[in-house]
Amino acid sequence: MQPLAITQGDSAGIGPEIVAKAFRDAPDALRGCFVVGDVATLRRAGQAIVRPGVPMVPVALIGSPADALGVPPRCIPVLQLPGIAGPQPWGEVSADAGRAAADCVIWAARAALHGEVAGLVTAPLHKEALSAAGVEFPGHTELLQAEAAAHQGVGLAQMPVRMMLASDELRTVLVSIHMSLRDAIAAVTTDNILETLQITHAALARSLGRAPRIAVAGLNPHAGEGGLFGSEEIEVIAPALKAARAQGLDVYGPFAPDTVFMRSRHVPGHVGEFDVVIAMYHDQGLIPVKYLGVDKGVNVTLGLPLVRTSPDHGTAFDIAGRGVADAASLVEAVRMARALTA
């Protein structure tokens, strides 16, 4: 088993404590994993989750990813990054925490790109803290895209990526990611939709072992109602679907956004009509998945030459340090990363 890197996330948020909980409560799933970060931060997280009758989870300093394979269960192997800040005050935006979180992601991405780790699972970071630290990228997806592009010696345009939110009930892939709604609507172009379809098809064909059935949501209410509520479905989305079908992709739509996610949902005793839904912008696609259960959702970056997953939630500053954060989504992210690297 090749080691899997888990980044500590923003030290002021719940990232470190859900990592500690995952190692304590799901030792089989976390076997062969290690944390890229700061030993003191993980020790504080271990203290935060202590409860009567529940022993504190120990932290082991390791010198290389391979050392993680020899660490006993319910112990957190930490690869200490030199020069990063220690634990920051709970629940406060901190440039030091943002810089440390970014440095952990960069180290793990480079290790994955060089084949030193199987992939990476990223604990939540805080976008304001990243900005305060002077990081030019707004989130994990863009940061990883830049690292992968630099590794392969190409520009960002030659390393297109997409965000997929997935659970056992629903998968959705976004045409645009972190931008204003006004800019997101402008990003609904035929080229962007076709590229999203191509990336989604390639990624899911590998994991499913067959061509995925891809549904495409419209941009407007009722998918434009034949042009009554907007013409993007006719003028922009439909041409992308036609081009994708000509390339052999199994795509359908555009469908009304308020029903297509229900049609694609997999529940016990009923298989959804589609394997994945292409959403036109961030909230259109993420609200349905998160409504079904943040504890089950996993964020997967598609289009990268590495495996990256993360839990489907943020830093939760309002509860950080209280030991009440749920580690279920992080555990699911680890399981999915292992499945994708198998």
Residues 148 and 8 in one domain: yes
Output DSSP code: residue 89: P
pLDDT 10s digits, 213-232: 999 999 999 998 999 999 99
75 and 112 share one domain: yes
pLDDT at residue 294 tops 80: no
Angle at the Cα of 103 from the Cα atoms of 84 and 37, rounded to 5 degrees: 60
Residue 153, classed as helix, strand or coil, is coil
177 pLDDT band (50/70/90 cuts)?
A: confident
Confidence of residue 121 (pLDDT cuts 50, 70, 90): very high
The predicted structure's pLDDT at residue 325: 95
Q: 73 and 197 in one domain?
A: no
Say if residues 285 and 173 touch (Cβ distance below 8 Å). yes
In terms of Cα–Cα distance, which of 330, 315, 312 is closest to 91? 315
List 174's β-bridge partners, or say none: 279
* pLDDT reported for residue 290: 86
Q: Please check whether residues 151 and 184 belong to one and the same domain.
A: no
**Is 227 domain-assigned?**
yes
Render 155-218 in DSSP notation, one character per residue: -GGGS--EEEEE-SS-EEEES--SS-HHHHHHT--HHHHHHHHHHHHHHHHHHHSS---EEEE-
Based on the structure, what is the number of domains in the chain? 2
Compare 168 and 84 and report the one with higher pLDDT: 84
Q: Is residue 295 scored above 80 in pLDDT? A: no
In-domain check, residue 226: yes
Same domain assignment for residues 98 and 128: yes
Contacting residues for 258 by C-beta, under 8 A, at least 6 apart: 221
Band (178; pLDDT cuts 50, 70, 90): confident
CATH number for the domain harbouring residue 227: 3.40.718.10
| 141 part of a folded domain | yes
Residue 189 counted as domain residue:
yes
Residue 294 lies in a domain: no
From 88-97, 115-124, 244-253, 260-269, the region with the lowest mean pLDDT: 260-269
Tell me the average pLDDT across 44-63: 92
Over residues 278-307, the mean pLDDT reads 90
Rounded mean pLDDT of 94-113? 97
| pLDDT band at residue 333 using 50, 70 and 90 as cut-offs | very high
**What pLDDT was estimated at residue 69?**
94
- Mark whether 154 and 200 lie in a shared domain: no
CA 262 – CA 252 distance, rounded (Å): 15
Helix (H) or strand (E) holding 61: strand 59-62
Integer-rounded Cα radius of gyration of the chain: 20
| pLDDT value at 198 more than 80 | yes
pLDDT at 76 over 90: yes
* 234 and 135 part of one domain: no
State residue 227 phi and psi, 5-degree precision: 100, -5
pLDDT at residue 96, rounded to an integer: 97
Inside any domain, residue 151: yes
Dihedral sign (CA 308, 180, 277, 210): negative
* Domain of 248, in residue numbers: 168-287
**Same domain (yes/no): 155, 172:** no
Residue 90 has pLDDT above 90, yes or no: yes
Q: Does 235 share its domain with 155?
A: no
Tell me: do 177 and 153 sit in the same domain. Answer: no
% pLDDT > 90, the chain: 86
How far is Cα 104 from Cα 53, in angstroms, rounded to an integer? 33
Dihedral of CA atoms 241, 242, 248, 250 in degrees, nearest 10, equals 40
Q: Do 25 and 133 lie in a common domain?
A: yes
